């Protein structure tokens, strides 16, 4: 019997959004509070004021911590946004003979590795075009190329190290599970007039790529994956499921994808227009 890991439930979304608000509020509060007032309270013996004064004296360290918190919370909240559709597929995979479980691989560093290596590629491929035809390039392309041109050798080396670590953590995760199921993206198709979503479930997207991080997180692990039509929202918008397999088990991924497609027939369904 094949064992399949499924992304955890959506009950965390509300809590994660509150956590995101906490981090953002903490940043504003610490930066805006009067230092003289804090020093006065510290002299009066207030322990909390002394702790806050230390944060004011080391703002870079504090802001780095806040940004880590915001990034982690944003990642988790946006990732679980598409889980409801995946959870409904559990009986389908169990009927195919799979044993399912809720599990999540350790994907720390995936965002940094992907964005860094993508920016490096954009700079190498499109850097000359930016120099000659900047006014004819989309703003998102300009941003991505400039991100690459600003990279240092140390950041590129770190990205490759992170990718290697991600590969091995996913490899170990899939020693326990033969396959991993997760949403293709964090939200259904959006309005054609919207260039890219600025937020999902109240969580801000920092750039034009973050709304699809549930897809590129898998890409950067170097493991095979198939994106399959999985059904429709109540509004008739399509949603997809990723079937991720063990390294070099492309055939196994295709076999499970074919079995899923044959069992559901979703790929042949069309929403009313």
188 and 141 in a single domain? The answer is no
Query: Backbone phi, then psi, for 29, in 5-degree steps?
Result: -65, -45
Phi, psi of 203 (to 5 degrees): -100, 125
Q: Are 101 and 177 in contact (CB under 8 A)?
A: yes
Q: Does residue 81 sit in the same domain as residue 198? A: yes
pLDDT at residue 134 is higher than 70: yes
Please indicate, yes or no, if residue 151 is contained in any of the structural domains: yes
Query: Are the beta carbons of 22 and 29 closer than 8 angstroms?
Result: no
Question: Is residue 273 assigned to a domain?
Answer: no
Evaluate if residue 5 carries a pLDDT over 90: no
**Residue 15 pLDDT class (50, 70, 90 cuts):** very low
User: What's the pLDDT score for residue 14?
Assistant: 45
pLDDT band (50, 70, 90) for residue 68: very low
Are 120 and 228 part of one and the same domain? no
178 close to 252: Cβ distance less than 8 angstroms: yes
* Domain termination site, one of 166, 198, 215: 166
Average pLDDT on 157-163 reads: 98
Could you say which of 145, 166, 187 is where a domain stops?
166
Residue partners of 92: CB distance under 8 A and separation at least 6: 260, 263, 264
Residue 12 in this model has a pLDDT that exceeds 50: no
Q: Are residues 135 and 255 located together in one domain of the fold?
A: no
CB 182 within 8 A of CB 218: yes
Q: What is the pLDDT of residue 104?
A: 92
**How many structural domains are present in the chain?**
2
153 and 264 belong to one structural domain: no
Q: Is residue 189 part of a domain?
A: yes
pLDDT, averaged across the chain? 81
Chain centroid offset of residue 7 CA? 13
Do 6 and 89 belong to one domain? Answer: yes
Going by pLDDT thresholds of 50, 70 and 90, the confidence category of residue 59 is low
Q: How far is it, in rounded angstroms, from Cα 68 to Cα 7?
A: 22
Say if residue 251 is in the same domain as residue 124: no
- What confidence score (pLDDT) does residue 66 get? 41
Predicted confidence (pLDDT) at residue 11 exceeds the cutoff of 50: no
Mean pLDDT for 115-123 is 98
CA–CA separation, 204 and 201 (whole Å): 9
pLDDT tens profile 193-222: 999 999 988 889 999 999 999 999 999 999
**Cα–Cα distance between 65 and 100 in angstroms, integer?**
36
First to last CA, the chain: 40
Band of pLDDT at residue 43, cut at 50, 70 and 90: confident
pLDDT of residue 82: 52
Residue 171 lies in a domain: no
238 Cβ neighbours under 8 A, 6+ residues apart: 188, 189, 229, 231, 232, 271
Structural domain includes residue 172 = no
Q: Of 166, 186, 204, which residue sits at a domain end? A: 166
Task: Mark whether 211 and 129 lie in a shared domain.
Answer: no
- pLDDT (average), residues 126-137: 96
pLDDT score recorded for residue 88: 82
Please report whether residue 234 resides in a domain: yes
Residue 216 structural domain: 2-103+177-268
For residue 70, pLDDT over 50 is answered with no
Q: Is pLDDT above 80 for 45? A: no
CA–CA separation, 10 and 236 (whole Å): 21
Instruction: Count Cβ atoms below 10 Å from residue 15 Cβ, excluding itself.
Output: 12
Are both 192 and 95 inside the same structural domain?
yes
Q: Are residues 8 and 80 in the same domain?
A: yes
Nearest of 176, 171, 269 to residue 229 by alpha carbon = 269
pLDDT bracket for residue 81 (50, 70, 90): very low
Instruction: Check: CB of residue 77 under 8 Å from CB of residue 12.
Output: yes
Q: pTM for the whole thing? A: 0.71
- Do 98 and 113 belong to one domain? no
Same domain, 96 and 185: yes
CB 200 within 8 A of CB 187: yes
Distance of alpha carbon 117 from alpha carbon 124, whole angstroms: 11
Q: What is the pLDDT of residue 118?
A: 98
pLDDT confidence of 75, banded at 50, 70, 90? very low
With contact defined as beta carbons under 8 Å apart, do 24 and 77 qualify?
no
């Amino acid at each position: 019997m094949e064992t399949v890991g499924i992304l955890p439930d959506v009950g965390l979304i509300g809590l994660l959004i509150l956590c995101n608000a906490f981090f953002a509020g903490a940043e504003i509060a610490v930066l805006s509070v009067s230092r003289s007032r804090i020093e006065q309270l510290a002299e009066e013996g207030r322990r909390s004021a002394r702790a806050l004064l230390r944060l004011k004296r080391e703002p870079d360290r504090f802001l780095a911590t806040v940004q880590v918190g915001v990034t982690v919370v944003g990642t988790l909240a946006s990732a679980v946004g598409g889980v409801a559709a995946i959870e409904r597929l559990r009986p389908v995979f169990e009927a195919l003979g799979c044993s399912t479980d809720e599990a999540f691989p350790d994907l720390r560093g995936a965002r940094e590795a992907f964005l860094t290596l993508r920016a490096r590629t954009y700079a190498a491929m499109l850097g000359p075009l930016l120099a000659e035809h900047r006014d004819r390039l989309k703003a998102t392309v300009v941003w991505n190329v400039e991100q690459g041109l600003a990279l240092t050798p140390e950041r590129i080396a770190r990205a490759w190290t992170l990718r290697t670590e991600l590969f091995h953590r996913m490899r170990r995760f899939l020693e326990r599970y033969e396959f991993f199921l997760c949403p293709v993206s964090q939200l259904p198709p959006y309005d054609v007039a919207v260039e890219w979503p600025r937020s999902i479930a109240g969580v801000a997207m920092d750039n034009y790529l973050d709304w699809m991080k549930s897809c590129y997180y898998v890409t950067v692990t170097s493991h095979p994956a198939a994106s399959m039509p999985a059904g429709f929202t109540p509004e008739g918008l399509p949603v997809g499921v990723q079937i991720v397999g063990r390294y070099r088990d492309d055939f196994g991924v295709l076999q499970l994808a074919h079995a899923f497609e044959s069992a559901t027939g979703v790929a042949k369904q069309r929403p009313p227009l």
